[in-house]
Chain A
């Protein structure tokens, strides 16, 4: 068994789960303690010792199924075992079968579902419709059986629908049985494919994307608050609070053994966020707006602006509304963005922005621009942007385009770049996280 486990660990490593020797030793020890016969316990023991985060755990579960299924099949090929196929498929009554399967999906055990999956495949094979592609066959079988997953608000009366999760389970059984048949036919295992992104993803609901953005932005807040603290060392620049030190020294007979420091208040970041909502960034603007939305949840001192040709402040909209849908609808309809031509005019945006916030900008404020820097051939007014960046403590630019496309066509990223503390390409939450990490590395401008 030990070599098998090592193989399994190898496969986990290929999928990016960090499995070290110490984890493996733990796994062996854990497997000594639990019974080997229970599949559940076995898997849980591996999960507790090898996977160290929820994502890892999910990958492990998927791989576990596949790996041990393949291991069994390989053994079967080696020993030239084939399973007894179900005989007498000719006599099967499709309607009765349909009914039984539906029952099993609603209430049946794992074993029952497996048996019925085999029956279904046999009945299906009789009709001579096997396409040879497993995914297609599964869909055909499901259609032939007339199985439908329950919808969100199904009327309980519909006899044809079955719980969606259970149906997925049944489909998994069908898929597995088909795979097994295929392996028996070809006498070889298909090559193991790396997991697709889809398989890796945790089960989701539609709100998840939004909540992920929220999570990353919460991180951003922490990073901005403790900005650069670690670079200075914890105690170096603290001021001794003489009064409190003297008072504390009374307990030790007047000897100031314990120094009391003035508590240092973390800087409260002031954010100015400018968000491009023009057509050239349509695909990214939902993402941008959700970033803005999340920022508003986290920061008190935040002013947000959207712009196309001209700029418009939307701080109120975000503060009044909580639901993301309402916010995006209101911004689309009545944010008052002067969208005459639909083309972004960055130069004009800077002039207007500077005019609006000139007096409020100070070294404590951070300016974040979300946009693609495509000016549609108009004057970029880079020095004006430079002026904004100069007044603000930090300036960051988040560009939704891949770095490769920057400065091609009408993109003038390079003329703004020198004024920024950092520019980032960013259109997924992962890249947003990279952005957050990167700005944590920067030294504060005013704090030295």
Chain B
């Protein structure tokens, strides 16, 4: 069963146990989310671990994770619930002769004929869950408005059935890449958390956690290079997941240093655009070639 976080420290350490190194704000917001029962709106650039936070919360809190991936054109039928027309039709056909209209009508609008979609599933679930509404900024404003009832009251009104209320309070995490300004009404109902790219030290910890066999010196240099790449004006800066991938790739290749040759061979792991590749090779590759980086560690 689920366990609440008792203190901020506990939130941090238990998130750490399941492989998510939370910084101060993230730990505090996770703690508050459980305490106040409010949804959390997580914003930040792509690949800083917004979705991962929700997953870690579900693991650390021993809750099931229900995920609603948002996209343009997502509507109630895909997010809330839908009537199972086919089954209803069969029901009508089999009973058309004996039963009166009133009975059939009451029958076909019962829970048996309801297809529940993620939001309804999360609300009606008996065990406590984490509901992840991913990339909310991809939907349109109408959908946001529809979410308001779910997020503030934790209930869903179905005209034919009445109101379905949550049996346990789900922990709701909304993520956004900030590609569109969300409405005030939605923001007002949420706690706000801004996740940014981590500092060198923290990212080093993260990389070491996920690729423990990698030599400390190489790991540090790798993270320094990643930070240097992020400082360039790229179409898509490398995410944390990509630095972890890179660390694992270096392990597999058995590289014993991050130098220009290694960077040029494995660059495609962290940079995903042709023009970006050229830019990184030019700016960062040269620095590595001169041995400016990593001197403090080796000397």
A interface residues, Cβ below 8 angstroms from B:
18, 20, 22-23, 26, 29-30, 33-34, 40-41, 44-45, 47-49, 51-54, 57, 153, 156, 205, 207, 210-211, 218-219, 251-253, 255, 257-258, 297, 322-324
Asked whether any CB of chain A lies closer than 8 Å to the CB of B85, the reply is yes
Cross-chain pairs A/B with CB under 8 angstroms, 9 sampled: A30-B191, A41-B24, A41-B28, A53-B43, A54-B43, A54-B194, A211-B233, A219-B180, A257-B89
CA distance A51 to B231 in the complex (A): 27
Are B194 and A34 touching (Cβ within 8 A)?
Answer: no
* Contact stretch, chosen from B29-37, B164-172, B256-264: B29-37
Are A218 and B35 touching (Cβ within 8 A)?
Answer: no
Are B279 and A33 touching (Cβ within 8 A)?
Answer: no
Asked whether any CB of chain A lies closer than 8 Å to the CB of B25, the reply is yes
Are A18 and B279 touching (Cβ within 8 A)?
Answer: no
**Which 9 residue pairs are nearest across A and B when measured between Cβ atoms?**
A322-B275, A52-B187, A207-B233, A33-B35, A44-B28, A48-B191, A52-B192, A257-B85, A48-B29
Q: What are the residues of chain A within 8 A of B295 when measuring CB–CB?
A: 156
Which residue from chain A places its CB closest to the CB of B181 in the assembled complex?
Answer: A53
CA distance A52 to B191 in the complex (A): 8
Q: What are the residues of chain B within 8 A of A29 when measuring CB–CB?
A: 36
CA distance A251 to B88 in the complex (A): 12
Are B193 and A258 touching (Cβ within 8 A)?
Answer: no
Q: What are the residues of chain A within 8 A of B187 when measuring CB–CB?
A: 52-53
**Contact pick for B194, options A18, A40, A57, A211, CB 8 Å:** A57
Are A49 and B191 touching (Cβ within 8 A)?
Answer: yes
Are B233 and A210 touching (Cβ within 8 A)?
Answer: yes
Mark contacts of B219-244 with chain A using CB atoms, 8 A cut-off: 1 yes-contact digit, 0 otherwise: 00000000000011101000000000
Are A26 and B36 touching (Cβ within 8 A)?
Answer: yes
Are A252 and B89 touching (Cβ within 8 A)?
Answer: yes
Shortest C-beta distance, A368 to chain B (Å), equals: 22
CA distance A439 to B296 in the complex (A): 53
Given contacts A34-B31, A45-B28, A48-B28, 19 further A-B contacts (CB under 8 A): A26-B191, A30-B35, A33-B31, A34-B8, A34-B28, A44-B24, A44-B28, A44-B29, A47-B25, A48-B192, A49-B191, A49-B192, A52-B41, A52-B192, A54-B43, A252-B89, A253-B93, A258-B85, A324-B233
CA distance A51 to B193 in the complex (A): 9
CA distance A375 to B279 in the complex (A): 40
Asked whether any CB of chain A lies closer than 8 Å to the CB of B97, the reply is no
With known contacts A54-B43, A258-B85, A322-B279, A33–B24 Cβ distance under 8 A: no
Shortest C-beta distance, B298 to chain A (Å), equals: 12
Are B85 and A252 touching (Cβ within 8 A)?
Answer: yes
With known contacts A258-B85, A297-B235, A322-B275, A51–B191 Cβ distance under 8 A: no
Asked whether any CB of chain A lies closer than 8 Å to the CB of B103, the reply is no
Are B296 and A156 touching (Cβ within 8 A)?
Answer: yes
Are B188 and A22 touching (Cβ within 8 A)?
Answer: yes
Mark contacts of B185-203 with chain A using CB atoms, 8 A cut-off: 1 yes-contact digit, 0 otherwise: 0011111111000000000
Q: What are the residues of chain B within 8 A of A47 when measuring CB–CB?
A: 25, 192
Q: What are the residues of chain A within 8 A of B188 when measuring CB–CB?
A: 20, 22-23, 52
Q: What are the residues of chain A within 8 A of B278 when measuring CB–CB?
A: 322
CA distance A47 to B32 in the complex (A): 12
Query: Which of A41, A48, A219 has the most C-beta atoms of chain B within 10 angstroms of its own C-beta?
Result: A48
Mark contacts of B144-158 with chain A using CB atoms, 8 A cut-off: 1 yes-contact digit, 0 otherwise: 000000000000000
Are A30 and B233 touching (Cβ within 8 A)?
Answer: no
CB within 8 Å of A: which of B39-54?
A: 41, 43
Are A26 and B28 touching (Cβ within 8 A)?
Answer: no
CA distance A210 to B234 in the complex (A): 11
Q: What are the residues of chain B within 8 A of A51 when measuring CB–CB?
A: 192
Asked whether any CB of chain A lies closer than 8 Å to the CB of B86, the reply is yes
Asked whether any CB of chain A lies closer than 8 Å to the CB of B184, the reply is yes
Q: What are the residues of chain B within 8 A of A207 when measuring CB–CB?
A: 232-233
Q: What are the residues of chain A within 8 A of B179 when measuring CB–CB?
A: 218
Are B25 and A48 touching (Cβ within 8 A)?
Answer: yes
Shortest C-beta distance, B34 to chain A (Å), equals: 9
Shortest C-beta distance, A331 to chain B (Å), equals: 18
Shortest C-beta distance, A420 to chain B (Å), equals: 27
Q: What are the residues of chain A within 8 A of B31 when measuring CB–CB?
A: 33-34
Mark contacts of B258-299 with chain A using CB atoms, 8 A cut-off: 1 yes-contact digit, 0 otherwise: 000000000000000001001100000000000010011000
Asked whether any CB of chain A lies closer than 8 Å to the CB of B63, the reply is no
Are A44 and B25 touching (Cβ within 8 A)?
Answer: yes
CA distance A29 to B34 in the complex (A): 12
Shortest C-beta distance, B108 to chain A (Å), equals: 13
Are A33 and B36 touching (Cβ within 8 A)?
Answer: yes
With known contacts A49-B191, A218-B179, A251–B86 Cβ distance under 8 A: yes
CA distance A33 to B34 in the complex (A): 10
CA distance A253 to B86 in the complex (A): 9
CA distance A297 to B234 in the complex (A): 12
Are B235 and A48 touching (Cβ within 8 A)?
Answer: no
Q: What are the residues of chain B within 8 A of A57 when measuring CB–CB?
A: 192, 194
Asked whether any CB of chain A lies closer than 8 Å to the CB of B38, the reply is yes
Query: Which of A44, A218, A252, A323 has the most C-beta atoms of chain B within 10 angstroms of its own C-beta?
Result: A44
Are A40 and B24 touching (Cβ within 8 A)?
Answer: yes
Shortest C-beta distance, A47 to chain B (Å), equals: 7
Which residue from chain A places its CB closest to the CB of B85 in the assembled complex?
Answer: A257
Q: What are the residues of chain A within 8 A of B89 when measuring CB–CB?
A: 252-253, 255, 257
Shortest C-beta distance, B94 to chain A (Å), equals: 12
Which residue from chain A places its CB closest to the CB of B33 in the assembled complex?
Answer: A48
Q: What are the residues of chain A within 8 A of B32 when measuring CB–CB?
A: 30, 33-34, 45, 48-49
CA distance A221 to B86 in the complex (A): 41
Shortest C-beta distance, A64 to chain B (Å), equals: 14
Q: What are the residues of chain A within 8 A of B232 when measuring CB–CB?
A: 207
Are B85 and A30 touching (Cβ within 8 A)?
Answer: no
Are A41 and B85 touching (Cβ within 8 A)?
Answer: no
Mark contacts of B65-86 with chain A using CB atoms, 8 A cut-off: 1 yes-contact digit, 0 otherwise: 0000000000000000000011
Q: What are the residues of chain A within 8 A of B296 when measuring CB–CB?
A: 156
CA distance A255 to B52 in the complex (A): 44
CA distance A324 to B89 in the complex (A): 62
Which residue from chain A places its CB closest to the CB of B25 in the assembled complex?
Answer: A44
CA distance A297 to B236 in the complex (A): 12
Shortest C-beta distance, B13 to chain A (Å), equals: 15
